[in-house]
């Protein structure tokens, strides 16, 4: 398990009633260990958009903590994300700022809400990968690179990159190492989130998160 602190993120829009609330709820659902999410509005509404709440709940997303808030209630954060409404947040200081350029579905049909929700989900997942990769934390990035520095682990990654999934038996055969040594290497790669595993009979089968591997490379190329 990771010992690194999550990235604190404030999602901001004008009314804090729809897009920013969906982003907060989805971040809590999809990346609870990587993103510490909150939200607020420059001119907060009286209530969260009921269609947003209903559609989030249909997806099994907890909405119990959602309520419009003014900017003044936002704690210090690492990142401010505006949702695409041209809102300015001069009072919110953060090391990183992003604008996600999302259309406001308020007043639209369910499919418009779902389309925006899907966009937010993709952006949350990408933000989560960047957090895990170490794009916002040089210490975490250095730890990832140290984990990847072992020659056998590099060979494991190379083998997994050419397959959707590999049996531990195949890795043992190619690497000519003991099973405890392989387990040690795979535990390190799983701890950093780069490899996932499932048991198949007496053997473990491993797969590589190729998108995360690419994100680590992108962090290095900044």
Catalytic residue IDs: 13, 85, 89
| Exposure of 160 in the CB half-sphere (CA atoms within 13 A) | 25
Closest CA to 118 of 1, 11, 22, 219: 22
The DSSP secondary-structure symbol of 74 reads P
Q: Which residues, at least 6 apart from 9, have a Cβ–Cβ distance to it below 8 Å?
A: 27, 35, 36, 37, 38, 77, 78, 79, 80, 81, 127
* Residues forming a β-bridge with 28: none
The DSSP secondary-structure symbol of 202 reads T
* Residues forming a β-bridge with 195: 208
CA distance 134 to 145: 10
Cβ-in-10-Å burial (0-12, 13-18, 19+) of 81 comes to buried
């Amino acid at each position: 398990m990771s010992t690194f602190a999550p990235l604190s993120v404030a999602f901001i829009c004008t009314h804090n009633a729809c897009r920013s609330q969906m982003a907060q709820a989805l971040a809590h659902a999809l990346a609870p260990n990587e993103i510490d999410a909150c939200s607020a509005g420059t001119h907060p509404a009286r209530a969260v958009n009921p269609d947003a709440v209903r559609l989030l709940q249909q997806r099994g997303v907890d909405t119990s903590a959602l309520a419009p808030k003014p900017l003044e209630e936002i704690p210090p954060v690492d990142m401010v994300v505006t949702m695409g409404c041209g809102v300015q947040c001069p009072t919110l200081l953060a090391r990183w700022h992003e604008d996600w350029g999302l259309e406001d579905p308020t007043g639209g049909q369910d499919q418009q809400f779902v389309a925006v929700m899907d966009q937010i989900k993709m952006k949350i997942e990408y933000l989560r990968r960047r957090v895990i990769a170490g794009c916002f934390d040089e210490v975490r990035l250095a730890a990832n690179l140290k984990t990847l520095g072992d020659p056998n682990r590099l060979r494991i990654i190379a083998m997994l990159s050419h397959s959707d999934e590999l049996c531990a038996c195949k890795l043992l055969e190619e690497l000519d190492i003991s099973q405890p040594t392989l387990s040690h290497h795979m535990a390190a790669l799983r701890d950093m989130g780069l490899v996932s595993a499932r048991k198949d009979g007496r053997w473990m089968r491993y797969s590589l998160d190729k998108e995360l591997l690419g994100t680590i490379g992108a962090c290095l190329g900044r």
